Amino acid sequence: MNATTMPVPAQSALVILIPEVESLVKAFRDHYDPSAAAGVPAHVTLLYPFKPPYELTAEVLATLRDLFSQQPGFTVTFQDFQEFPDVLYLAPSPAEPFRQLTELLANRYPETPPYGGAFTEIIPHLTLAQAGAAQPLDEIAAKFREVASTSLPIQAQVDMVSLLDNTSGQWRLRAQFALGRAQPSG
């Protein structure tokens, strides 16, 4: 077996699903984001990769439930889109609650660093497109700007964390964990 035929081990991820943006981003994600074709809805990743699915025991799920129940829910706005090299994304505002949840998870599960430790800075984002050789990112961004100009900003209430796994070859919802009560603002 060579590298191209090696089976990819099943993975899991902790994400915040953002259904409020799905109607705006679905066509772009379906066309330009491979995770959409693999069954992942619009989301902001908290921790990927998380544990292999066979390690998601009742004890791990109970720990996650307790951990998230102690964290407040929050409201987020998606107004601006930005770029990483080869990735177009919607930037959440505020980003700090996402970053805090990721740091909380990384501290609790140091064996599963965000993005496998590939990046030193946590930048919460909702991926719209990954550029390929067929179309440069600036062209994709121009198309999205045209479509999104009348739809942004979009506000969403964040009150749930979702655990996804791809044991079946497609990503699917495995569990959800409620965040605690939102803190009053001001």
DSSP per residue, 39-103: T--SEEEEESS---GGG--HHHHHHHHHHHHTSB-EEEEEEEEEEETTEEEEEEES-HHHHHHHH
Structure confidence by residue, pLDDT tens digits, 82-128: 999 889 999 999 999 999 999 999 999 999 999 999 988 999 999 99
On the question of pLDDT at 41 being above 90, the answer is: yes
Average pLDDT for 15-30? 96
What is the number of domains present in the chain? 1
pLDDT in tens, 126-135: 999 988 757 8
Burial 22-32 (b: 16+ CB within 10 A, else e): eebbeebbeeb
* Interacting residues of 94 by C-beta distance below 8 A, sequence separation 6+: 74, 76
In a domain? residue 158: yes
Cβ atoms of 60 and 12 closer than 8 Å: no
Question: In this predicted structure, what is the pLDDT of residue 2?
Answer: 38
Tokens 């919802």 sit on residue: 173
pLDDT at 136: 85
91: domain range? 12-177
Whether residue 113 is contained in a domain is answered as yes
Mean pLDDT, rounded, for 11-25: 97
Q: List, for residues 124-181, the tens digit of each pLDDT value.
A: 999 999 887 578 888 899 999 999 999 999 999 999 999 999 999 899 999 999 999 6
User: Is 7 within the bounds of a domain?
Assistant: no
Q: Vertex 63, ends 59 and 65: CA angle to 5°? A: 115
In-domain check, residue 97: yes
Indicate if the alpha-carbon torsion angle 48, 49, 53, 57 is positive or negative. Answer: negative
5 is a domain residue: no
CB 14 within 8 A of CB 68: no
For residue 185, is it within any domain? no
Residue 78 lies in a domain: yes
133 domain-assigned: yes
Q: Look up the CATH number of the domain holding residue 59.
A: 3.90.1140.10
